[in-house]
Amino acid sequence: MFIVDALAMAGSMTWEILWALILGFGLSAVVQAAVRRSTVVRLLGDDSPRSLTIAAGLGAASSSCSYAAVALARALFRKGANFTAAMAFEIASTNLVVELGVILALLLGWQFTVAEFVGGPIMIVLLALLFRLFLRSRLVDKAHEQADKGLAGSMEGHAAMDMSVGGRKLLSRKGFTAVSHVFVMEWAAILRDLVIGLLIAGAVAAWVPDSFWQGFFLSDHPVLGAIWGPVVGPVVAILSFVCSIGNVPLAAVLWAGGISFGGVVAFVFADLMILPILNIYRKYYGTRMALFVFGTFFAATVGAGYLVELIFGVTGLTPTDRSARVVEAGISWNYTTWLNIVFIVLGAALVVRFFRTGGRDMLRMMGGAPDTGEHADHHHMD
């Protein structure tokens, strides 16, 4: 029965967020189809506030898959983008995307979506300051030498694909095809982490009593809990192996279990530090830079969690309701069902277009080599 309960909980979560996922990936696909990859590289030449702001904005319009974001950041770095700007782009690619905000609002409440868009820029600013203080040009040069070796990480082919057509063609047949390609490839990239995240969240919600989390997160001691949460949140994220938006269902379970508000924010933002991605950093940039990235990312994540906790506490926006909807099992005939039907039809239309215009070949290439990049421009755009 334990397994049945966990699967039932995971299924209920999936049904609750399905329409929002399709909407989020659809909006992201439209933006990515309009923004050309070459534009991104040209605008990220230094670590000035202007370049970092542009990096954050372009990252927010990019992939929500953590592995693809990491691979794309290296590709930008190899082509001439500043390392700090490339890392800012990477953070924004997973922590400032529309679909993450939609899922956070649906499962946890609008305050968490606001916290995403407040905390994400804070994390980027903190990281930039840490890089400015401690990152030496010699280490960057060594990282560049290692990056130029082109060692494979994960989702290399997906990160290398530039499926954009430019804003002017977005309403054309080629534009619709480009949107369908980005939409399905984003789903393909994120699906594994999303399924794992839902299964883990379902198992934790069904099997682990709230009393365990309340003790672990010091929820009976609000001040200590607020200090402990942003530190332990990233640790739980690192050990969970779940990244991208796949960690939101588990974040909802942790929130219901008593972790602090800032702890939830830090947990969600730690998706770029899970163990498999740390190993990819080692391959991409060398061991020393991988350790430097981990240390600075961890510090920036914890700092963002603390500052969000402080800002929301001072303004009175910290939510108090911990009955996260994600842990309420059951499917009923309500607005969620109607929205799911509408967006499933929309998603199906995009999937059909994808497979009618060379999509199978793209799926086969999504795990390809880092240097196969621009080969993925559309050959079947009509």
H-only helix segments in the chain:
2-34, 37-43, 49-60, 66-78, 83-95, 98-107, 110-134, 137-147, 156-160, 173-207, 210-216, 222-240, 248-257, 261-269, 275-285, 287-315, 335-356, 359-365
Residue range 328-344, pLDDT digits in tens? 445 667 777 888 899 89
The whole-number average pLDDT for the span 83-108 is: 89
Q: For 36-40, 132-136, 171-175, 287-291, which range has the lowest pLDDT when averaged over its residues?
A: 36-40
pLDDT of res. 323: 67
The answer to whether 184 and 199 are in contact (CB under 8 A) is no
Among 25-39, 84-98, 196-210, 295-309, the minimum mean pLDDT is found in: 25-39
pLDDT digits (tens, 9 = 90+) for 254-267: 998 899 999 999 99
Q: 44-53, 184-193, 276-285, 315-324: which has the minimum mean pLDDT?
A: 184-193
Is pLDDT above 80 for 206?
no
The one-character DSSP state at 172 is S
Average pLDDT, integer, range 345-353:
93
Tell me the residue type at 361: D
* Summary mean pLDDT of the chain: 82
Report the pLDDT value the prediction gives residue 162, as an integer from 0 to 100: 61
On the question of pLDDT at 366 being above 50, the answer is: yes
25 conformational bin, left if phi > 0, alpha if psi -120 to 50, beta if neither: alpha
Residue 311 has pLDDT above 70, yes or no: yes
CB contact set of 46 (below 8 Å; sequence gap of 6+): 82, 85
Q: Residue 62: is its pLDDT beyond 60?
A: yes
Helix (H, G, I), strand (E, B), or coil: what is residue 83?
helix
The token duo for 31 is 């933006």
pLDDT at 148 over 80: yes
| Higher per-residue pLDDT: 109 or 195 | 109
